Amino acid sequence: MDAEAHRDFTIFERGWLSSNNVLLHGADGEHATLIDSGYLSHAGQTDALVRSSLRPGQTLGRIVNTHLHSDHCGGNATLARSFGARIVIPPGDADAVEDWDEERLSYRLTQQRCERFAFDALLRPGETLAVGRRHWQAHAAPGHDPHSLILFDAAHGTLVSADALWENGFGVVFPELDGIDAFDQVAATLDLIESLPVRLVIPGHGAPFSDIAGSLQRARSRLARFRADPASHARHGIKALTKYHLLEVGSEPPADLRAWFASTPIVAQVWQRLERPEGSIDAWGQRLLAELAANGVVTLRDGRVHNP
């Protein structure tokens, strides 16, 4: 990234439990804007990162969410309290946020946590978020999440891709876990990204990257594998959620992980949809855990399941 980009924004690369955050600095005298706010249990850390990166005399005026998964908006409430920041969300989730409907917001299904927040404004596809000399156009990017936005600064070729495109793939296609076809939307969103003159992608997770063609190719071949075997995508989705759960709790005894499996509605839902593999959710969970361990995604030691 060039020095100009560093003047315009700061990227906090967070790992996986919290999404990345992009702090848009704005012009002198302008409040800063933060894109996405991480997971709830990291909210204090997010607050400190923002505080240490604001310019002297500047405050955080606004938080903009690409979408409302718990790892992208879990810091909203904390930051709104801390800085008086306004909250701007995509329009598709407005009703669910207004009613704080944890079912529609996915937090109940996944047993992930998000502190309730209220929004102040919407950012609709086609609208532009202007911060300093940067103009970020919002584009609808359904697939991973039906209401997700991506933000593109055409003058500089910079794309905030959320979970629609990562350097190696894209986020779990959540509607598919609900039995709603969304692989076509993933494909259309990848086509949209290809049609934009992108030079730098700031993904929702992982480091920024500039090999756009390579990432699109990897994403499309991943999508082709999922399309050919949707059950493999569903298993992948549950494994990814298991990994998130372990990132949140750190480590836990296998019995606790089995209890999480048994009590998490999306696990049961997918197990039903796959026609009850292994005959019970518990046995299926054991198999998925064994596969995660075999692939080195988790380790079992001292009687606990850990992130490696």
Residues contributing to the site for Zn ion (CB under 5 A): 69, 163, 171
Nearest to 91 by CA among 47, 142, 50, 33: 142
The nearer residue to Zn ion, 69 or 235, going by C-beta atoms, is 69
| Shortest Å, Cβ 300 to Zn ion | 28
| Shortest Å, Cβ 72 to Zn ion | 6
C-alpha torsion 63→65→71→74, nearest 10: 40
The nearer residue to Zn ion, 70 or 82, going by C-beta atoms, is 70
Q: Which residue is nearest to Zn ion (CB)?
A: 69
Euclidean distance between CA atoms 302 and 227, whole angstroms: 39
9 forms bridges with which residues in the sheet?
24
Q: Which DSSP category does 135 fall into? A: E
Euclidean distance between CA atoms 296 and 226, whole angstroms: 22
| Shortest Å, Cβ 171 to Zn ion | 5
The nearer residue to Zn ion, 31 or 67, going by C-beta atoms, is 67
| Shortest Å, Cβ 256 to Zn ion | 25
The nearer residue to Zn ion, 69 or 156, going by C-beta atoms, is 69
Question: Cα-atom radius of gyration of the chain, to the nearest Å?
Answer: 19
| Helix-helix angle 254-263:230-249, to 10 degrees | 120
139 forms bridges with which residues in the sheet?
150
The nearer residue to Zn ion, 32 or 219, going by C-beta atoms, is 219
Count of beta carbons in the 10 Å neighbourhood of residue 81? 13
The nearer residue to Zn ion, 69 or 134, going by C-beta atoms, is 69
| Shortest Å, Cβ 186 to Zn ion | 13
- Are 222 and 182 contacting, i.e. CB atoms less than 8 angstroms apart? no
| Shortest Å, Cβ 130 to Zn ion | 25
| Residue 2 structure tokens | 């060039």
Q: Which DSSP category does 31 fall into? A: P
The nearer residue to Zn ion, 26 or 171, going by C-beta atoms, is 171
Q: CA 120, 125, 127, 132 torsion: positive or negative?
A: positive
| Shortest Å, Cβ 248 to Zn ion | 15
